Amino acid sequence: MPYVPPPNLAALSLAELAEAVEARRLPAVDTWSPADTGESHMRITADGTWFHEGGRINRPAMVRAFSALLTRDAAGQHWLVTPVERLSIEVEDAAFLATDMEVRKDAEGCPVIAFRLNTDDVVIAGPDHPLRAAGSAETPAYYLAVRHGTEARLNRSTYGQLIDHALSVSSPEALSAQSMGASFSLLPA
């Protein structure tokens, strides 16, 4: 069955966003303890492009499948994990890119911020998926925790959307955003 990308985030209700999050069936990589370790000969560039042995991986379905197997350990090393082996993968910045965002209100009127990743995953910022600010005031970088220690860097237009939202709900001196009851400072340290 061919892959059908989900609709634009702006077209989705909060319930549909939650449904998109739940619809992605991911392997239980956190429960696997493979004995074999090796090198994948794969690399993810800062712009989210995947390479294998120097050649670009052009099939989005392949990237999507490999991305479901990604983890990052406490030392910052990224791995592709299967039940039989764990292969290192070079990641220049973050394993994912956040390419779009939408803000919705839940039943109590609290904000919920949803992000679309370059793999078409939908991730909702909150206690399990915090946002963090890095870089400097002149060159900020914003990251969203995705899964198994991996992160998505917000691309320029997406972090512009996030800052516009934050400026509508907070002052520039205390720039922050809230989602799913969690508050995130957007001021680089």
- In the chain, where are the structural domains located? 24-91, 96-185
Determine which helix (DSSP H) or strand (DSSP E) holds 157, and give its type and residue range: helix 156-169
Classify domain 24-91 at the CATH superfamily level. duf1285 like domain (3.10.540.10)
pTM: 0.89
Classify domain 96-185 at the CATH superfamily level. duf1285 protein (2.30.270.10)
- Going through the chain in order, the beta strands assigned E by DSSP cover 36-44, 50-52, 55-56, 70-72, 78-81, 85-91, 96-105, 111-117, 122-124, 131-135, 140-145, 151-154, 176-179, 182-185
Residue holding tokens 């994912």? 96
Q: What are the pLDDT tens digits along the chain (189 aa)?
A: 566 666 777 777 778 777 777 777 788 898 998 999 999 999 999 999 999 999 999 999 899 999 999 999 999 999 999 999 999 999 999 999 999 999 999 999 999 999 999 999 999 999 999 999 999 989 999 999 999 999 999 999 999 999 999 999 999 899 999 999 999 999 997
